[in-house]
Structure 1
């Protein structure tokens, strides 16, 4: 479920278990062994969610807050430990909760779980006058058990018992009303922070017996033989650090494994995997392509491995820096020659470590480093195994790199090398987890691309021969999974006529119909499957059923004599559902909320219904919006207001109200533009709509779009001034790259996309080129250069190839837009999967089928319609 973590920052809770679609976390059924304890006669048990089981004595008063007792456990003895704790709690009438199943236990102790929550197996809630005695009994009973250190707490003594001060339960009617994550300390309300460090909230006075415990230091043994320079990253299992050996100052990578953490579903802990890495590197110690070991051992309870700091960049970054994205800059034509050398080295290294009976088991782009002269090294050997006698399940794999069946460890490694090689040829492999042998499709597309770039036949053929060799190292399987209905495309398709475009659209619509049918057989929560960003949004343009159905309608209209079949019945159901849930939405925006829903209902032909909703709710929607941008804020709301005003659909009074609020918005922007959207480059690297603050949908370019439409409607110079100021503020975040293209700067990357980047700004300037001063038109060439790519990782409208092609082909003076349609469709074949006689799209990230406008089918559909109609169809225009 979505949870607010601040101002419009989302926590997306989704499930990947369905073979075709992203789902909410309640999709899968946990069939693992349950944790169960008896229930005394005068006690009650409740499951408030599927993770925790609560038991409490009936009628006992429990303080609202106090010293929580958390108990951790090692996996193998967890059932016995729970029985011992439950016995004490029952006898002392202490409420407690415990994890519900073994799978939940594994996830709570996994490598990637939040460090502030990890390790907690049982929580006890004693009143303060019971705290000391229950701690004594628990310590006596649990001394023989082990468990991970709970980072948010402080250990009580020797047993795996930990304490922190926090909230026990919600406030009652007769108590001060505060949130469940807030403490009452005297007259103040203090946040109950769950941090990966022990901290007593300000103002809390511990009971006397705890003071001695608080002063006691945790036992630590041994001198620390390293100097840590900085942390590379942290996980629940421990840290990875840049460090130096004290003895000689040698720079090392230091890996840490906390005991009983990083539990995998195979029952292994991070310390065991670190031992496997150490063993593998000792065997391969003579190689220059693997790290040397400089230190291994235990300090206090933690295991450390100090290894050589290998030079180079991860292979995925090497591809980003070297793959010929732009035809104009690919002058040397040496990319395939360099790829050949890297793949040859990977094949040679794999044969060598297999000859030593070492099998890596996690070969992917991030574990291959490339340094000068394209020399490579292989890192991260913690999944290594040392026998090839039995078939195993591929336990840990990056997206696109998981072997499809139980197979030999050697074959798992070869599958990883094969996927890497195919990625180097055409950087699209993630969909391999969705469509078996998807790389046979990308191989065809890679060859087509490099032929179009005039690479030599010799270089292409040699890479092809390496790919054939690696394909032969990975035996073909009989795919009997549900995913067998999805197939790669094994033919080169070109668009030569209008009929070819019609045929493509029909196949795209057919695939959508099949997707809808499959989804509705299993899910009733919404009509169509979407990207995980949109699972809990069903209003607005980006992810709603309304928007998906609208895009289907818009594309189907382009087909001659198209039969709509059940469309009108589904349309009625979707609109009714959107209206019924209208008031439940807490989002107001054009792309995520109510105003977008109103506009879509209007565009779907329900004009009277849309006008009624707009007239009734406009002022409320505007006033409740806390944001200013086009995606989720007041810019989008006012844009729809102007649209309705231009259509003559609202009365004069409401029209005047819209114009008053528009003028106030504009004046406020001109005075303080930085309070509307961030000015300058973004530090956050993400496609998340709520972590983006630049571009057409999230930044000043979207505000500029509003002002441009306002000027077209009113002719008032204030809106032209606002338009040009907003373009100026947007441009602050853009940088010129080595290709002399102008792109939005976000984190360590430059973005050319429609939602955030060059494509959106290009659309804005072209849409307003008759209004803007000539100085802004000089940016068109560098923006066009940014969007004119021969390859893009993602297919979608917001952050992918479709959006780039829309920007390249609309608001132009060219009457014939066939070439734009042709290029879009021919390039889209890279991303499509075949289903029956149709096509489906594995939306942005390639893991699952999506149909939303932001990432999937609907975005491609409306993008193609936009090129056909020479306008950006997803935005209201005057």
Structure 2
């Protein structure tokens, strides 16, 4: 699971944002604003305060020193290190406030960087040895989380790692933009920040580091601590530790190991993972003998880490079973399937209710009920797992953690916590709109109506599902974040958003107000006063190298879509994009994530000079090895082909052709799958080059690329999926799934004739059409959601099916200050971007109602 979404929900109830923005001004450490001697420089970047002495000369990379400390010790340690660095003229940085430290060490924090309170940059080996020796004495005994990526120095809070001293990026094996260092040949390679310390083979190892490595090896050789478990599978990771399936070598028994790291994985009450593990131990001991609770075998400490050894209960997590069996996630479920599933779902709810009642009889509240904490055994019996926040029913404090969509802020005491989660579980099993309730509580009533319309349930069942949520929340669900703002649909000041039509797209007059409101709502979210992003979007805006600028997640995609839909943004927004692109030194080169796409956009926004300047940067930049459309060479070539016409520069078309020939000749395998990152993206370029030149060879190249994509496709229940490599998800969607590939197959078929292509191409088209049939689609977005399926159906001429998805977008639509809005990925916050949010939905709606929006490599494959 991608825990970034929880972290990026902390700062704003409406939009994903930088977690550091959650801090309050009075929460900052004094060192963040303390006077500095003349010549010293201080600046801020993200959550970090950087302090630099006069005339500092640092190498590009080397051995860093990290200092770890608990939140209670953090400010004292920072003050001590500040004094030391001023005295010795050291460059360093530190987290700027207590809230930032808590977030950096929280349960859902990035475990690769957790524990890093301070970073020091010694300029050479001698200074490194001096800093380690003197600070280890100064900070002796300071407690803090272990920095997993680093080498610990002696027994104190100092850690070491070789890495870059400056901000620069490259593309890793998964196609992600990641921090970089120079390799032995001077070329950038990933600056790996894993969960195990490792020194690059080519990196210099100073004497002080070698001595520490030797001391660790000697200590480990003399360690006799027995750990009689062989880990066979990692089940889950968080910053607090892992959960593992293992075999006990003493008796051959399968067990579950629950790991806890001291001072790490903090919850909102400030408890670390070890404290919660010890609490779970007491709970499991109290619940011994209940057949739905895993038995506790032992508690063991190895080095600083604690482990609970628990019974392995065979079964699947409820979320997995639901995803596989929910009839709304399958095409055309018949009455028998719906009835069988309904019986099963009601049985699960009844079983879970009985288990919670048994806990309550023993004076305990489970506290963390959600589909990943319910197991379904092979015989259908349910069990509960993960009791780390289970608490006494008479406890007056709120649980310090909770799963989004299963927690109500108004039901946070005693058994009411479980009662609400149980009502939310029932909703989830029939229509999982749980995450939307925090944005719009009215989705409960919508879900109730849809449940009654789709499942064989008794009269009033759907309404009762919604009413149960209200009762469990204390009488009424709290108003969602979109309902609490001025201009919301409950009668606040400002415009009133139009109702979502149930008319076909051909009823233009019914849909024009929707298009107008959606565009106005996007513009209403603009924040030109910020320098990191102009429009709110996905958490990828805050990932390395994106900076809220590109086509997928940033300003370029939103501004272009508005312009293409006849609703241009103010000129100051274009000026913002130009200024930010010109001042960002290390933008990626790609079409959907960087320079190429920004230049492509500016050429269409009436800023050809700014576009030309970015093209010159692009032509002198080192291009990525990635062959894909989104971040790689295919997208760069396609963008240059368009820019050649827009800027009147034939040399750009020549460069595009050269890149196309390189890709066709080299047949470089992509790292991921699908239209943006897979073989399909190369096929998109080849089809464009066919349109540009009329040469039949490009059709042969496109056919070959699409064939390689289909080699690794999956057809399940007659539906076409691509397997997404990062999380091994099977996806039907536009960017990384089957319909993106199928759209190109349809285009190729139109140019060659179906009889000239292998039968599996026609089979893939049929399977992609079938993948668009399920009613249940988790998100509304263009790249990974309903809008993308809608766009595919429009492109392949299936207007009736497209109208169905058009109507079903009502499940996702929100009100934001009297305008229409849509949630982004994971449905926890609103998004305006092209990939996941309102701009992408606007593009699909515009194509349905008024005509195509040309999206590079997706809907602009002009024929010769």
Q: What TM-score does the superposition give when structure 2 sets the normalisation length? A: 0.80
2:558 is equivalent to residue 551 of structure 1: no
Summarize the Cα distance change of 1:86–1:296 in structure 2 as closer, same or farther, 3 Å threshold: same
Deviations 1:309-353 (A, max 9, x none): 122212111111001223335453211111111111122222221
Q: What is the match of residue 100 of structure 2? A: 104
Q: What is the match of residue 672 of structure 1? A: 666
Aligned residue runs from structure 1 range 744-763, under 5 A: 744-747=722-725, 748-763=728-743
Secondary structure of 1:377's aligned partner: strand
CA distance in 2, matches of 1:155, 1:801: 48
2:573 is equivalent to residue 574 of structure 1: yes
Summarize the Cα distance change of 1:421–1:505 in structure 2 as closer, same or farther, 3 Å threshold: farther
Q: Is the 8 A contact 1:436 1:484 kept in 2?
A: no
Q: What is the match of residue 824 of structure 2? A: 843
Q: What is the match of residue 517 of structure 1? A: 524
Structure 2 residues not aligned, in runs of 5+: 168-177, 491-495
Alpha-carbon RMSD across the aligned residues, in angstroms, is 4.6
2:790 is equivalent to residue 805 of structure 1: yes
Q: Is the 8 A contact 1:445 1:830 kept in 2?
A: no
CA distance in 2, matches of 1:43, 1:618: 38
Summarize the Cα distance change of 1:548–1:662 in structure 2 as closer, same or farther, 3 Å threshold: closer
CA distance in 2, matches of 1:497, 1:357: 55
| Structure 1 residue 170 displacement after superposition | 7.4
| Structure 1 residue 487 displacement after superposition | 6.0
Q: What TM-score does the superposition give when structure 1 sets the normalisation length? A: 0.79
Deviations 1:547-603 (A, max 9, x none): 434434555x6xxxxxxxxx66x4433344445555556344443345444554565
One of 277, 294, 300 as aligned partner of 2:297:
294
Secondary structure of 2:275's aligned partner: helix
CA distance in 2, matches of 1:727, 1:848: 35
CA distance in 2, matches of 1:512, 1:261: 44
Q: What is the match of residue 314 of structure 1? A: 317
Summarize the Cα distance change of 1:52–1:342 in structure 2 as closer, same or farther, 3 Å threshold: same
One of 264, 272, 290 as aligned partner of 1:269:
272
Q: Is the 8 A contact 1:66 1:128 kept in 2?
A: no
CA distance in 2, matches of 1:666, 1:764: 17
Worse-matched range after superposition: 503-512 or 195-204: 195-204
Secondary structure of 1:275's aligned partner: helix
Q: What is the match of residue 347 of structure 2? A: 341
Secondary structure of 1:770's aligned partner: helix
Aligned residue runs from structure 1 range 456-855, under 5 A: 456-458=456-458, 465=464, 468-475=467-474, 476=476, 479=479, 483-485=483-485, 495-496=502-503, 502-520=509-527, 523=530, 527-534=534-541, 536=546, 541-552=551-562, 554-555=564-565, 570-579=569-578, 583=582, 586-597=587-598, 599-600=600-601, 606=606, 610=608, 621=618, 624=621, 625-626=623-624, 627-639=626-638, 654-655=649-650, 657=651, 660-661=654-655, 663-673=657-667, 675=668, 677-678=669-670, 693-737=672-716, 739-747=717-725, 748-772=728-752, 773-774=754-755, 775=757, 776-812=761-797, 817=799, 819-820=800-801, 822-835=803-816, 837-855=818-836
Q: What is the match of residue 18 of structure 1? A: 12
Q: Is the 8 A contact 2:112 2:148 kept in 1?
A: yes
Secondary structure of 1:862's aligned partner: helix
CA distance in 1, matches of 2:682, 2:290: 57
2:213 is equivalent to residue 217 of structure 1: no
| Structure 1 residue 190 displacement after superposition | 11
Summarize the Cα distance change of 1:777–1:835 in structure 2 as closer, same or farther, 3 Å threshold: same
Deviations 1:433-472 (A, max 9, x none): 3223533322323333x1xxxx4344x7556645544542
Worse-matched range after superposition: 833-842 or 358-367: 833-842
CA distance in 2, matches of 1:425, 1:304: 37
Secondary structure of 1:276's aligned partner: helix
| Structure 1 residue 514 displacement after superposition | 4.2
| Structure 1 residue 386 displacement after superposition | 1.2
Q: Is the 8 A contact 1:810 1:871 kept in 2?
A: no
Secondary structure of 1:296's aligned partner: strand
CA distance in 1, matches of 2:528, 2:612: 37
| Structure 1 residue 620 displacement after superposition | 6.6
CA distance in 2, matches of 1:599, 1:414: 53
Deviations 1:414-447 (A, max 9, x none): 2222222111111222222322353332232333
CA distance in 1, matches of 2:640, 2:136: 66
| Structure 1 residue 257 displacement after superposition | 1.8
Secondary structure of 1:771's aligned partner: helix
One of 427, 433, 451 as aligned partner of 2:432:
427
CA distance in 2, matches of 1:617, 1:74: 45
Secondary structure of 2:337's aligned partner: coil
Aligned length: 814
Summarize the Cα distance change of 1:343–1:260 in structure 2 as closer, same or farther, 3 Å threshold: same
Q: Is the 8 A contact 2:318 2:372 kept in 1?
A: yes
CA distance in 1, matches of 2:156, 2:273: 18
| Structure 1 residue 642 displacement after superposition | 5.4
Summarize the Cα distance change of 1:522–1:414 in structure 2 as closer, same or farther, 3 Å threshold: farther
| Structure 1 residue 544 displacement after superposition | 4.5
Q: Is the 8 A contact 1:361 1:413 kept in 2?
A: yes
Worse-matched range after superposition: 14-23 or 852-861: 14-23
Q: What is the match of residue 361 of structure 1? A: 367
Q: What is the match of residue 860 of structure 2? A: 876
| Structure 1 residue 832 displacement after superposition | 0.8
Q: What is the match of residue 174 of structure 2? A: none
Worse-matched range after superposition: 69-78 or 370-379: 69-78
